[in-house]
Amino acid sequence: MRKTSIGPAASQQGLRSVAALDALPAPWPESLLPRIQADLRASGHKIVVLDDDPTGTQTVHGVPVLTRWPVDALAAEFKRDPPAFYVLTNSRSFPLRAAQSINAEIGRNLVDAARQDGCQFAVVSRSDSTLRGHYPGELAALAAALGGDFDATLLIPYFLEGRRFTVGDIHYVAEGDRLTPVGETPFAQDAAFGFRSSNLREWVEERTEGRVPAAAVVSISLDDLRGAGPDRVQQRLQDLADGAVCVVNAACTRDMEVFVAGLLAAEKAGKRFLYRTAASFVQVRIGLAPRPLLDRGDLAIAGRPEGPSTQTRGALFVVGSYVPRTTRQLARLLAQPGIVSVEVGVPSLLDLRTRQAEITRAIRLANQGLISGRNVVIHTSRTLITLPDGEASLAMGTRISDSLVRIVQAIDIRPGLVVSKGGITSSDIATQGLGIRRAMVLGQIIPGVPVWQCGAETRFPGLPIIVFPGNVGDDDALVEILNIVRPDALATHRSP
């Protein structure tokens, strides 16, 4: 057994710089991915990821995403080869009762679909790495629909690509060279899902309104992962029972490998867990080796429409997210030459007397920009409108997103690709604006930003759509994507 300790600075006082992560004890020395892959082949289990917005595919490639979940569609996915599939619930955009209803329906349908072939599966409830979402309410509904009797819920918000780390049970967001406890970030001030606690055990107590006290929450520490390894993880997990809650620390991918290796051993021994995680866990849990970031060639091949057209097509950006990071990214994007900016006034969208005129104006400007081969950015005005409670804020967000959908639905010029910015925005543009029922995840364009390929059922078959989370990327991230997907790189070619 290796000797290690994270020390009192990490566990009690907290970290404040990214450099402090390098001063932690060394990770487990050997890759456990081959062991995980072998264990997964032996188990034959399928992983089903319920994604509360479409950005959770940030770490995977070659897996499908469903936007509808009838039993026959789920049963078809159980019979296909990929080790996992995603079901886009978009539940973060709904009030709690609706989110619970969605999760319960999917849970029941999964049980029915798996029963047809005797398929075994495990479920990941993928949510936000900055802790925004319907926890614990939708987890309780999902667990009940899946038959209950879970030994524990495992909370794993670690997300490498978004620079979210958990050390000493404190969850951090990295900005530049600084680590900020998540409870001190703007994400914690979210109108619908705000919170105070950065310590995950205390966060569970806060979110459960004291029903699960912090002292009752179990923790898998970095000492467990880096010092003792998979055997220790297995032992800790096998001690969990009766619906316990367990938080998992992690500061690098190797930590996740150690945890998953121990997790699979515990499940093989008969333990049953429900996962509430960010995106990085999924990649390791399904034994998926990383692939290089996508380049212009990948997108040009994926986005080539049928037919002999050689027209150069610009990209269509749709930006709805209001987090400060998105606003800074948008400002940098709009400062680039040749951009067609189509600002949609939120007050006009919320006023029934002016809504249709504002939508019609945006449609006209977007079509004009795309037909000229330019890059078009449809974005909401940036003045934040605050409402007195979370449900009212969600309802307002829905009205705004519905308006963006109506604009995209009326665009009749096929773009080179679509970039949707923000979770709710991305879900609605994909499912309603483009009509996606099943998409394939191609990979990532920049770390933490996935690219889907539209299915044959959509308005623009084969079109790539970049699903860009609101809380990911530095201030130049949208500009970086623009430079990758500029129109000349997406010129279509004559079919052979």
Of 285, 314, 334, which one is at a domain's C-terminal end? 285
Q: Could you tell me the CA-to-CA distances from 164 to 161, 405, 441, 471 in Å, in that order?
A: 8, 31, 22, 11
Neighbour order of strands in the sheet with 170-175: 164-167, 170-175, 178-181
For residue 155, being part of any structural domain is answered with yes
Does residue 241 sit in the same domain as residue 303?
no
Whether residues 321 and 436 share a domain: the answer is yes
Is 495 a member of any domain?
Answer: no
Asked whether residue 254 falls in the same domain as residue 335, the answer is no
**pLDDT, tens digit, 9 for 90 and up, residues 76-113:** 999 998 899 999 998 998 999 999 999 999 999 999 99
pLDDT digits (tens, 9 = 90+) for 400-426: 888 999 999 999 899 989 999 987 888
Domain-terminating residue out of 258, 285, 312 = 285
Q: Which domain holds residue 234?
A: 7-285
Tell me whether residue 291 is in a domain: no
**CATH number for the domain that contains residue 177:** 3.40.50.10840
- For residue 390, the domain's CATH number is 3.40.980.20
Residue 492's pLDDT is 40
Nearby residues of 23 by Cβ (< 8 Å), 6 or more positions away: none
pLDDT number for residue 8:
40
Q: Which amino acid is at 213?
A: P
Output the pTM of the full model: 0.88
pLDDT given at position 239: 98
Instruction: Please check whether residue 195 is in contact with residue 183, taking contact to mean a CB–CB distance below 8 angstroms.
Output: yes
140 and 87, same domain (yes or no): yes
Domain boundary among the residues 240, 260, 285 is at: 285
Indicate the number of domains in the chain: 2
Residue 496, pLDDT score:
27
Which pLDDT value is given to residue 47?
Answer: 97
Which stretches in the chain have pLDDT values below 50?
1, 3, 7-12, 306-311, 489, 491-496
Q: How many CB atoms lie within 10 A of CB 325?
A: 19
pLDDT at 307: 42
According to the model, what pLDDT value does residue 53 have?
86
What is the Cα–Cα distance from 496 to 483, expressed in whole angstroms? 28
- For residue 382, the model assigns a pLDDT of 77
| 365 and 280 inside one domain | no
Shared domain for 280 and 300, answered yes or no, is no
